[in-house]
Amino acid sequence: MKKIEAYIRPEKLEEIKEILESLHLNGLSIMQVMGCGNQKGWKEYVRGSEVEYNFLHKIKIEMFVLDEQVDAVVTSILDKAYTGECGDGKIFISDIGDAIRIRTKERGDAAVR
């Protein structure tokens, strides 16, 4: 079982949601976040003064998947999120020791299905 966290451009969310729905994942969380990487934000002028914004708006998609789903999920996100430009985002994959569905008390893979 794995946790996949993808940080993507906000304008790519709908495309990525559609492709993930086609993979029949059982659930995911989507959060609006701000952060910076190589882009380092942007600058603009407000009333003649330069204002520097160090953080960019991103979307974080978080999901827990079975080991056999990881490659399909990652490939799908990569295909839809890619523009070739700085700021396309990142994907992190972590091992999960256990999961419990509170309602049924199912554990492990059964809790994620």
2-112: CATH number: 3.30.70.120
pLDDT value at 95 more than 80: yes
Q: Which two tokens stand for residue 12?
A: 């790519």
Per DSSP, 103 falls in state T
Angle at 5 between CA 22 and CA 104, to 5 degrees: 70
Task: Kindly state the tokens that stand for 26.
Answer: 């059982």
Query: What's the chain's average pLDDT?
Result: 91
Domains of the chain, by residue range, sit at 2-112
Residue 42 above 70 pLDDT? no
Compute the average pLDDT of residues 72-87.
95
Residue 37 has pLDDT above 80, yes or no: no
Q: What is the pLDDT of residue 76?
A: 96
pLDDT band per the 50, 70, 90 thresholds, residue 39: low
The pLDDT tens digits for 43-79 are 778 888 888 777 889 999 999 999 999 999 999 999 9
Q: Which residues share a beta bridge with 51?
A: 44
Residue 51, SS3 per DSSP: strand
Can you give the pLDDT at residue 41? Answer: 67
Break the chain down into helix, strand, coil percent, rounded to 5: 30, 40, 30
pTM of structure: 0.84
25 φ, ψ (degrees, to nearest 5)? -70, 150
Average pLDDT over residues 15-19: 94
Place of tokens 């003649």: 48
